[in-house]
Every structure is written in C-alpha cells, then in structure tokens.
Amino acid sequence: MFSRIKERLWVRPLVLCMLSIGGTFVAKLADNVGLSGMLPDVTLKSVESLLSIMASSMLVIATFAVGSMVAAYASASAGATPRSIPLVIADDVTQNALSAFIGAFIFSIVSLIAIQNEMFESAGRFAIFVLTLLVFAIVIITFVRWVDRIARLGRVVNTIEQVEKAASDALDRRRHAPTLGALIAPPNQVGGKGVSVFSSTVGYVQHIDLEALQSSAEALNCRVMVIALPGTFVHTHLPLLRIEGCAEERIEASEGFEPDAFSNAFTVGSNRTFEDDPRFGLLALSEIADKALSPGINDPGTAINVIGTLLRLFTLWQSPLKKEKVQVFTYDRVSVPELMVDDLFDDAFTAIARDGAGMVEVSIRLQKAFCALAEADDTRMAAAAKKHSRRALAHSETALTLSDDIDAVRTAAAFSAF
C-alpha cells in the first residue's frame, strides 16, 4: 500500500503545502513569547519584496518541472517499456523537487497575504524573514539536485537501472522467503482434490495476505494451498487457491466457510507490480531489450546491456543466503509453491533469443551469459541455462546467413549448450 501511495504525484506536494501553511502561522507565535525586543527589526517592505519574488518565480519553476517530468515519462515509455513508468514516477528526487517548488509557492502566497494584512509584529516579521531564507535555501539545493536527475530521468540507461533495482529487491526478498513464510507446495496443482476458491474479478494478483489465509484456515480447521502467485493473471474460472484437509461436503457445510474471506486475501489489479512479483522485473528488462532490437530502433548495445543486467540478477538469485534475512515458516496451514527457475529464464531470455538471433553480437553475448549461468552450483539453473542456450543457438542458426557468424555463435555456445 505504501508503494502505491509513493506513485501518486499529489501526495508529497500536498504534505509540503500543509507544512508551508503551518509555517506561516507558527511564525505568529514569535509575537506571543516576548521576543520583540531581542530580535532585529526587519522592515515590512523587505519581507514583502522577498515573498513577492518567490511567489512569482516558484509557480514558473513548478510549471517547468511538471513539463520536464511529463517529457521524461513519455521518453521512458517510448524508449524503454511502459511497464517501467511506475518506477519513473516514483523517483524520489523528482517528486521532492516538485513538492518543494509547489510548497514554496504556497508558503510565499500565504505569508504575503498575512504580511499585507499586518498579521505580524516585529518578532513575527523576523520569523517570516528567517523562514523565507530557509525556504530559499531548500529550493536552491533541491533545484540543483533535480537538474542533475532530470537530465537522466527517462533515459533508457537510467530506466534499466531503476528496473534492475526493483527486480533485485523483489528477487532478494523472494529467495530469502521462497514460500512467503508458508509451507512448500508443489507447483501446478490446479486439478487437485479439495474446494477451489475463484477470483471475483479479472486481473493480475498483486499481493497475497497470508495472515488472513492462515486465520481463515484455522477457523475452518483445514489447510490452504495457494495456486495463483503474485503476477498470475486470474479470472472467474481460474482458482486462486484450494482448501484441503477436509471432505468437500464438510467444508461447504461448515459455518466458517466463506469463500470471500479467502478470495479477499488476494489483491487483484489491472496491472502487475514489482514489489511481490520478481518475474515482472525480469519481464520488463526483457521488453526493454526486445524493443531495442526492433528494426525501427536497431540498438543492440542496449540489448547487450540488459543481458549483463539479467546475468547479475540471476547471479544474485543463486548466491548464498544471509541468515539474518531468511524468513522462518510462520503460516503452517498455508502452502505456497516456489518460483520455478525455468519460468524465470522464460521471462528473461525468450524474447531476446528470438528477436536478437539475427545480430551476431547479441547472440554471442547471450551465449556467454548462458555459459556463466551453466557453471552455477544450482543444478536447476544450470539445466535451464543449457536448455535456453540450445534454443538460442537454434534461433541464431536460422536467422544468421554468414557462416562465420554462425560458427562464432556455436563456439560461444559450446561451453553451455552441451
């Protein structure tokens, strides 16, 4: 929920606006604590001039900031993938800059109205003067940081870094909690015995409240097997989970059986999210590389960059676990299937292998990545790497026409495909 709030552009500006209005009225307190004789007497004209300059300039800068942000979002969508837009929007530096500009504008307008209506005495005017200088300093520092960020925001390289960070965080959380704190369930258990609970809406599973499932299972004195992991596209005929451990007649006749109590534990939305869906990050990176390989863009360098990024992510996936991060089994009545390495490889490499087969430099780099992953200690990852290496080699042999290029790809694949 917090990550969804971060993606709303109006949240931080609203908070800064409230603080700005509050700051104006806090300055009035300086007149009520007997500091008038101890503080310098700032003239009304100087404070009013300073606030007028800020009021006229901040609105222009805020408008310029919005235009730059919209251009960056359009660039990220056109040059990378539309799936990266939530990450670009959630950029902290850009949101802080827009919030600071709008907050400074609101502060200057409210303070200017208060000054012109003679709301402050000498101590209050000095407090407003100090607050105005402080706001100016914050705006200048924020503007300098924002100029550096806006120059890179929305560019393909920067977008790849943001998607890699989101995918890395999701993969790291999942490898330390492969079943989200529940028991291990075998994959692909759609047709098993028990009572299936279906989704009432059509969309992607974004989050699963395992605590709610545990409570419902305890109330029913049964077990729950999750079928639809985050990222799964569900509809009214695809089960979210299956209730086991009791006869079907007993489950359906039980007073504690309420299908909505189970289905409501699944947050279903129209789009996939990065937080609980590690496969989505890999898919977004694959889409960036695939778009770069299209004839209209023809940018194999970006595809090669993405292949290196994917190699780092899979290296992270099979690296040793940190004991302090490993999640213990908390939900003993809920079973969740683990992510399959084959599915991760399908999301990451299928499109690149297919659409980059006609570019020898991309094919060779892809085979080198498979070679590195085939040498991993993880037998499932090594098997998946060899499988995709053979498939990519077949694509290259079909797409390439020059025999020297084909031989170069075969040489690169020799260590991983067989």
pLDDT in tens, 78-129: 777 888 888 877 777 777 888 888 888 888 888 888 888 877 777 778 888 8
| Claim to verify: residue 8 and residue 142 sit in the same structural domain | yes
Closest-CA residue to 105 (of 64, 67, 58): 58
| Claim to verify: residue 371 and residue 309 sit in the same structural domain | yes
pLDDT for 415 beyond 80: no
* Token pair for 67: 């235009």
| Claim to verify: residue 11 and residue 145 sit in the same structural domain | yes
pLDDT in tens, 258-317: 778 888 999 999 999 999 999 999 999 999 999 999 888 889 999 999 999 999 999 999
**Distance separating alpha carbons of residues 68 and 161, to the nearest angstrom:** 20
CATH assignment at residue 195: 3.90.1170.30
| Claim to verify: residue 26 and residue 65 sit in the same structural domain | yes
Note whether residue 343 is domain-resident: yes
Q: Tell me, yes or no, if the pTM score tops 0.85.
A: no
3-state secondary structure at position 186: coil
* Token pair for 360: 């020898």
- Pair 226, 334: CB distance under 8 Å: yes
Backbone φ and ψ of 257, nearest 5°: -85, 110
Long-range Cβ contacts of 287-290 (<8 Å, 24+ apart): 287/80, 287/81, 287/83, 287/351, 288/80, 288/81, 288/84, 288/156, 288/159, 288/160, 288/163, 289/351, 289/352, 289/356, 290/351, 290/352, 290/355
pLDDT in tens, 9-18: 667 777 777 8
In the chain, how many domains are there? 3
**Distance separating alpha carbons of residues 124 and 105, to the nearest angstrom:** 20
pLDDT in tens, 175-217: 999 999 999 987 666 556 778 899 989 999 999 999 999 998 8
**Distance separating alpha carbons of residues 307 and 175, to the nearest angstrom:** 21
Residues of the domain holding 292: 279-324+339-413
pLDDT in tens, 120-177: 777 778 888 888 888 888 888 888 888 877 777 778 888 899 999 999 999 999 999 9
Residue ending a domain, among 229, 247, 269, is 269
